[in-house]
Chains A and B, each alone.
Chain A
Amino acid sequence: MKRSFDRRQVLMLGAGAAAIAALGIPGGPAYAKNDYEEVIAKFTGGKTPTPSKVKLDLPEIAENGNTVPMTVSVESPMTPQSHVTDVLVVTDGNPRAGVATFHFSPASGIAEANTRIRLATSQNIIAVAKMNDGSFFTASKAVKVTIGGCGG
């Protein structure tokens, strides 16, 4: 039986195309910006977070844009006196910036969470941590969502 090819099924259209399909947007230019700056500003009340203490762990190149493992952690003693309260995660290249907000307390013992996220295209993921003293810290990581194939 001759099988007709959907455009997305042809050679080397791997993770990127699949992710675009899931988010229902056409493949836009890499690093197209969304409203992530406003989302961060709302979270920090306009304060500029310091690039420190936060660690974002994602693969440099996504295997599958539909499900990219992400770990965010924040250096903190997590005591009643000094702890992380919230961590906002946004992206600058998805149609909408928001990914998740994690809420911690001294009962958490450690400010660390791992989940899997959708990335429509190559872009930056940004995490902003809010401490109980009202200070903010941040980190970002670029993830490439590639067409794939041709390697080796």
Chain B
Amino acid sequence: MLSRRDFLQVAAATAALVPGGWSQAFAQQRLTQAELLRFEATGNVTLLHIADLHGQLQPLLFREPSINIGVGDAKGLVPHISGRALLDHYKIAPGSAAAYALSSEDFTALAKSYGRLGGLDRIATIVKAVRAERGDRVLLFDGGDTWQNSYTSLITKGQDMVDCLALLRPDAMTGHWEFTLGTDRVKELIEKLGFKFLAQNIRDTEWNEPAFEAMATYDRGGVKIAVIGQAFPYTPIANPRWMIPTWSFGIREDELRANVAKARESGADLVVLLSHNGFDVDRKLASRVSGIDVILTSHTHDALPEVVTVGKTLLIASGCHGKFVSRLDLDVRDKQVKGYRFRLIPVFSDVITADSEMAALIAKIRVPHEKMLGERIGKTDSLLYRRGNFNGTLDDIICDALLSERDAEIALSPGFRWGTSILPGQDITREDIYNATAITYPATYRTTMSGARLKEILEDVADNLFNPDPYYQQGGDMVRVGGMSYTIDVDKPVGNRISDLTVTRTGKPLDPAREYVVSGWASVNEGTEGPPVWEVVMRHIEKKRVVAAAPMSRIRVLQR
């Protein structure tokens, strides 16, 4: 019997030979650490980028979206190409390691072949290798969404992530979910961070003055590099504002222009935006703010194997949950990027060796909780995942839990883009549930809402996702529903996208005038009460023993 490592090499070697840079490496070569790290170095600067770890320290399964609709100018462009179309776009062979890492195609089968991706100990190996190769030319950046959304990051209030990242020695980070730890904790962690937390777009609500350092400069390979941080612009809208009442965010294009000008005036040869805007916002921003050489994008969790260019600006998207490390080599001369080479390095955990120092720290963090987190609470008969514009199968299970455990008619669950995937036939562990629910405001409320109000909520969230102008998008996916179904026409204007609202149990239309008992979680309002969502979901699965959900059973999507 072949070991997984042997199998990976065989699988990679037998994959179809296809043209094109990234996938070709897999198709033609064996999947080995040396091959994953192979890079023909160029120029005088190397940027490494990781983003959206969401508290994940260990290798995991994460299914990329099968539905990721682009609207307005982004229609039909990456990252709004998914599944088979994405493979065709990048000329990636179906069934290849690249196909598994980057798309939702054949996820279950390929996950069994290629195994888990990520693990901060594997990432550490990659970072160390690149530093060893490139010496003082390297900068490492963390795009944020690092400190929250796993069990250990929740109970240590982000300390586990901060300690592990400290070993990785990034040069700067920015943030989003970090802010759900509240003002005081964020300040406390930043104080002892050992590297810069940059956010040019946060001001204090009282005096309208910068609340964080906007920019840091570095000398690498004889190049003066200015890095400007951009935190998630809609943090106080998407997440509880009451946790950070004295900070005001926003895109703040004018302030960014001023900071870019300031960087250039102070002699920067290269200007980098470390951004948590989300890809479509960054693509628009790149077309409107000149003078940025590189945007390291994040927030929307897109993994793009090639650089996207907007004018002279290079945009890279490094995926999420530690699945990838981006390496961008730049040849910077005369204050211009004369050339570059890029690789989105997939962190195949069975191929890349764990760094022992980081592995030891992760083990130390996890030891006290490992037994509890590994406890089996049930089993799934179908693939469970969240990522995608609409209800994932795991969201369906969460909504079912809210309906049954909170005795509700309708369930609402947030369209977070994070959370790990569980294969059919696998046991569901406590950790699997925490990976999809670990937040600092987990209360499951139970209340009544009219049918009209429910439609209003769906319309409002739909506009935050499908407004044709990315600056008016919020970057999360659509709110998930249970107990009802609907049709959405993404191209319609705000207030007109949602129709056919139907109560599942009765098969009747949702009555705008009737009050329905609704349960949900992740309310942005202070003082929300109810049991934490993970308790509710675990109880539900423990009672059911075996769960299953079919993809997209509740929503019909129209797009012209």
Distance in Å: Cβ of B233 to nearest Cβ of chain A? 8
The answer to whether B251 touches A151 (Cβ under 8 A) is: no
Whole-angstrom distance from the CB of B523 to the nearest CB of chain A? 4
Which of chain B's residues 44-70 have a Cβ closer than 8 Å to chain A?
none
CB-CB under 8 A for A11 and B525, given A61-B472, A150-B476: yes
Within 8 A of B (CB), among A50-70: 57, 59-64, 67, 69
Tell whether, in the assembled complex, residue A147 and residue B472 are in contact, meaning their CB atoms are under 8 Å apart: no
- With contacts A7-B449, A150-B479, A152-B414 known, what are 15 further pairs, Cβ within 8 A? A10-B518, A11-B518, A11-B521, A30-B494, A59-B250, A63-B237, A63-B250, A122-B494, A146-B464, A147-B461, A148-B241, A150-B464, A151-B239, A151-B415, A151-B464
Q: How far is the CA of A3 from the CA of B523 in the complex (A)?
A: 15
B431: min CB distance to chain A, Å = 20
Decide: A9 and B527 in contact? CB cutoff 8 A: yes
Query: By the criterion CB–CB under 8 Å, are B251 and A12 in contact?
Result: no
**Contact size class for A?**
35 or more
Instruction: Point out the residues of chain A lying under 8 angstroms from B177, CB to CB.
Output: 152
Residues of B within 8 A of A (CB): 145, 176-177, 205, 208, 232-234, 236-239, 241, 248-251, 254, 412, 414-418, 445, 447, 449, 456-457, 460-461, 463-464, 467, 469, 471-472, 474-476, 479, 494-495, 518, 520-525, 527-529
In the complex, chain A residues whose CB is within 8 Å of the CB of B239: 149, 151-152
The complex places the Cα of A27 from the Cα of B460 at a distance, in Å, of 13
Q: How far is the CA of A9 from the CA of B463 in the complex (A)?
A: 22
Please measure, in the bound complex, the distance between the C-alpha atom of A150 and the C-alpha atom of B521, giving whole angstroms.
9
Q: How far apart are the CA atoms of A14 and B476 in the complex, in Å? A: 16
Query: Are B445 and A63 interface neighbours, CB within 8 A?
Result: no
Q: Which residue of B lies closest to A71 (CB)?
A: B254
- Known contacts: A3-B529, A29-B495. The answer to whether A11 contacts B412 by CB under 8 A is yes
Q: Is the CB of A5 within 8 A of B414?
A: no
Partner of A11, one of B205, B415, B417, B523: B523
Kindly report which residue of chain B lies nearest to residue A13, judged by CB atoms.
B525
Query: In the complex the two chains form, what is the Cα distance from A59 to B522 in whole Å?
Result: 24
Dominant secondary structure of chain A at its interface with chain B: loop
Choose from A29, A114, A146 the contact partner of B237 (Cβ within 8 Å). Answer: A146
* Alpha-carbon distance between A69 and B251 when the two chains are bound, in angstroms: 13
Cross-chain contact B527 with A152 (CB below 8 angstroms): no
A150 touches B236 (CB 8 A): no
Given contacts A61-B234, A150-B476, contact A3 B527 (CB under 8 A): yes
Contact between B237 and A14 (Cβ–Cβ < 8 Å)?
A: yes
Of B251, B464, B520, B528, chain A has the most CB atoms within 10 Å of the CB of: B464
Give the residues in chain B near A62, CB-CB below 8 Å.
237
Residue numbers in B under 8 Å from A150 (CB-CB): 238, 414-415, 461, 464, 474, 476, 479, 522
Are A151 and B460 in touch, CB under 8 angstroms?
A: no
* Cα of A60 to Cα of B252 in the assembled complex, Å: 10
- Residues from chain A with Cβ under 8 Å of B414 in the complex: 149-152
Among all A-B residue pairs, the 7 with the closest Cβ atoms: A151-B238, A151-B476, A11-B523, A149-B524, A59-B250, A63-B236, A147-B460
Beta-carbon contact of B475 and A152 below 8 Å: yes
Chain B neighbourhood of A27, CB < 8 A: 456
A19 lies within 8 A of chain B by Cβ: no
